[in-house]
Chain A
Amino acid sequence: MSVINDVVIKIATVNGTGSASANGLLRKAIFRMGVPVVGKNFFPSNIQGLPTWYEIRVTGDGYQSRSNRTDLMVAMNAQTYEKDMAEVIPGGWFLYDSTWPRSKLLDRDDITVIGIPFSKLCNEHFDGVRTRILMKNIAYVGAIAALLDLDLDVITQLLEETFGDKKHLVASNMEAIRLGYDFASEHFKCPLPSKVKSMNGTKGQVVIDGNTAAALGCVYAGATVGAWYPITPSTSLMDSFRAFCSKYRVDPETDKRTYAIIQAEDELAAIGMVLGASWMGARSFTPTSGPGISLMTEFIGFAYYAEIPAVIFNVQRTGPSTGMPTRTQQADILSCAYASHGDTKHVLLFPADPGECFTTAVQSFDLAERLQTPVMVLSDLDIGMNDWMVPEFEWDDKYVPDRGKVLSAEELENMDKFYRYLDSDGDGITYRTLPGSHPKGSFFTRGSGHTKLGGYTENGDEYQEVVDRLLAKWETARTLVPKPDIQYSKLNKSALLTVGSGNGACLEALDRLASQNIGLNYCRAKAFPFSDEVKEFIDKHEVVYVVEQNRDAQLKTLLMLDIDTNPAKLVSLLHYNGMPLNAGFVVEKVLEEIAKGRAA
């Protein structure tokens, strides 16, 4: 029996050997055949020499998450043969470089071992050490093409797009593809019972990572000042912003730029720069990860109290401390929600995939300026650095940015006197001015106690009046942040609830549970503070499984802190080994809970 478009290919290589472009070629070829794909990187915190894996899930059903199984292992790293072989599911395939045969590899008789002498073939056909290594990567793509029945014309076209005029490169790469393809076809039964077949499942879709998408969002939002200190996995966000800006923000005539990217000395400085720029009225942001947030906290509290807009992208990685910097987690939820000393709380936005990184980036500037407060976009390594298939982004040219309550020079001119912290509209949001705009617009920004008029105070009542108004603003924020995505049917007593990158796995898990006649409702919260809809959703259920990627149930804790609800209803499903969440985990945990007697 053959399986069509449901296969997981895992490619094991050595970091720094240039396998990324070969893997990208493979992923793109499948996508171009109209078949949905998911691409995940599992890479070490290392520049060269350590093992690295790329996993391609071919999913005709169009699921977004990884599946946590390997059908075809492409083992190009002898250091990890043993581990890689153990991972293949019974009935699966293990492809390796048989230039150096390994009889020991034939140990497992429940899988098929496919040996192709890639190194030998490439050494015979190509010159130069580097070329041979690169061509070996391309050759395994050729072998996989034969094994999975990929369309060679599509591969040729992709190579032509990549190399453009450099015809000789197209030719040599095709030669390498052929070496692998022909050897596999001649020596093994191709295609395998599990194969790829052209379909029409990728129309209107792109495959992109979240950091690139977020950077593009910043460009479209009109961000002009980006300050940062490099940290995995957020670095590529600023790299992409720079790349887009060098294309779209440089005057072709004068060569002058309309953006400033400042590589700060550390994250304390990066956030300070963002606050300085936002104070002046520029849209300004900083991308970082957990350790950076830890350093920024003093300033984040300052921005909360002095009411300065700021956009912070936290591309979360596995903590605590340095943790596993190249693995994913959602373990900064609490540290971001309450970053800094004193009574502070911050608006968090949770994009679920790269498509939402684009829209959320734009939204984050609107909210930060509307609410005059830091807004943190909580992405993670899985979203930020992996390749997701998402609908093409859309841009509405009629979009009008929300710059919030900023008084113009004319408004100031006609005003008696301006007070920075006076709540004249009753929504907790006060008016600000941009320095230099008008002589009447001056005000003093301070993190020390201040009155509603903006003056320094150590008087308890005057102090309290301002922090109470900040609470009123928080309630306004609740009405402005994006509403949750909800799937609801009256028939179901229990539900799943998650945020961010857990979405894909949860949606897939819901399908799988439904096929076992277990119906669950679903809520994906998109922001903190939680909208009223989140509370209503929880209220309607007996059990709400809170799915999150950390050890300490941070999302559940946050729900309990922010929403008046019965905590006994909230049951945690926690996944925190650093790997992206998979549907199988969610299904298994829900079944376990049901077996314990919980409502289905």
Chain B
Amino acid sequence: MSYIAKPKVTHPKLPRNKLGLTERDYEGSVSTLCAGCGHDSITAAIVQAVFELNIEPHMLAKISGIGCSSKTPTYFVSESHGFNSVHGRMPSVTTGANAANRDLMYIGVSGDGDSLSIGAGQFVHAIRRNLNMCYIIENNGVYGLTKGQFSASADIGSKPKKGLPNQQEPIDAVSTALSLGATYIARSFSGDKDQVVPLIKGAMLHKGFALVDIISPCVTFNDHEGSTKSYAHTRQFYHHVVDMDYIPPAKEIKAAYDEGSSMPIELHDGSKILLRKVDTEYDPTSRAKAFKYLRERFNAGEIVTGLLYIDEGRPEMHELMGNVDTPLSQLSLESLRPAKGELERILRGYR
């Protein structure tokens, strides 16, 4: 037996979602990652988010590249459609899949190596197309699967287990996405499920490219003293800037909220997100201000988290291309051909 199917024993009292499914129904096979790996916590958050969003498993497509992080789609929603592609190329597969079938929900799982080194090109171009997907980077500052080399997100001065500290500028996925015009940008920490779950929900429902960059410590290769991606370091320098609540369609925002620090945003399916600004100065709808803020906090060594930028108004890939609403993959091939006799007319031009 080479992979372990999880026995599905469902307690009759387990809560069920609108489809009558329990959270267990959204699980996958047993993780083979190291015990304590941040990626497993993210898997759990995805399970909860998808369960709570009442997504039909077979209407979910989960795509990944290569890495410990990219292995995780096997560990959630086993009844959905998985595509574990090649290193750094998850965005292109998702782009083609989405171009062909816009009816599915797309969740892409990647690592910092997968997205910021080998796959940096595909990462940035998926953003430019405003591809309608939830793009998760499980960010640990190293290549876990190849045993701990620095990745492009390693901070200057961060110490490896062996050898010299990193000296190269890190690539910050969040500010990169911001500069490229991503329309939903969030950062969080695998150890903060309460924050991660609503961020993923919002990302799933956002119309357009939604990045969720999640610091996800690698317990085996990058969780030691001197590492800036360890549990301890992240907890110490971690700040919520904008929290968010997800409010399903047809639900009212009940709790009274303070105008200055709260901000409701309606998503295209009628659901809402309520942003709660921990720092009232912060404006998650201004690219320029967000950029300045992030840079300043970064220079101060802080890790700012929450929904850092949102623009619900920009057209996504299909709208930009002007495509029909029916998924292209579902059009009958007969309907796609020029009318009878048309070939004759076309060929006349070549005589």
Contact = CB atoms under 8 A, between A and B. Distances in A.
B122 A459 contact: no
Interface in A310-344: none
23 contacts: A202-B351, A222-B331, A224-B100, A225-B96, A254-B324, A256-B323, A257-B323, A262-B99, A268-B121, A269-B95, A272-B85, A276-B92, A276-B96, A280-B96, A280-B327, A280-B329, A282-B101, A299-B89, A435-B58, A436-B101, A442-B57, A445-B82, A459-B2
Contact of A275 (B73, B96, B324, B335): B96
B104 interface: yes
Given A222-B333, A439-B56, A455 B99 contact: no
B84 A445 contact: yes
A258 B328 contact: yes
Contacts of B2: 451, 455-459, 462
Contacts of B329: 224, 277, 280-282, 434
B139 to A, nearest CB: 22
A284 B96 contact: yes
B333 A436 contact: no
A279 B95 CA distance: 12
Given A272-B95, A274-B96, A444-B82, 12 more contacts: A206-B351, A207-B351, A222-B337, A244-B346, A262-B129, A272-B96, A436-B59, A436-B103, A439-B79, A444-B74, A458-B2, A459-B2
A269 B97 contact: no
Contacts of A438: 58
B333 A280 contact: no
Contacts of A299: 85-86, 89
Interface string B200-230: 0000000000000000000000000000000
A435 B60 CA distance: 8
Sort A-B residue pairs by CB-CB distance and give the 3 closest, nearest first: A272-B92, A276-B96, A222-B333
Interface in B291-349: 318, 321-325, 327-331, 333-338, 340, 342-344, 346-347
B93 A272 contact: yes
Interface of A: 31-32, 202, 205-208, 216, 219-225, 227, 244, 248-249, 251, 254-260, 262, 264-266, 268-284, 298-299, 302, 392-395, 397, 401, 434-439, 441-448, 451, 455-459, 462
B69 interface: no
A31 B92 contact: no
Among A272, A281, A298, A401, the one with the most B-chain Cβ atoms within 10 Å of its Cβ is A272
A205 B104 CA distance: 46
Contacts of A277: 96-97, 99-100, 328-329
A276 B94 contact: yes
Contacts, number: 225
A225 B328 contact: yes
Interface of B: 2-3, 56-59, 61, 63, 73-74, 78-86, 89, 91-101, 103-104, 121-122, 124-125, 129, 318, 321-325, 327-331, 333-338, 340, 342-344, 346-347, 350-351
A392 B97 contact: no
A277 B98 CA distance: 7
Contact of B81 (A278, A443, A451, A458): A443
Nearest to B59: A436
A277 B346 CA distance: 28
A389 to B, nearest CB: 10
Given A434-B329, A441-B58, A442-B78, A275 B93 contact: yes
Contacts of B80: 442
Contacts of B82: 443-446
A425 B22 CA distance: 37
A269 B92 contact: yes
Contacts of A206: 347, 350-351
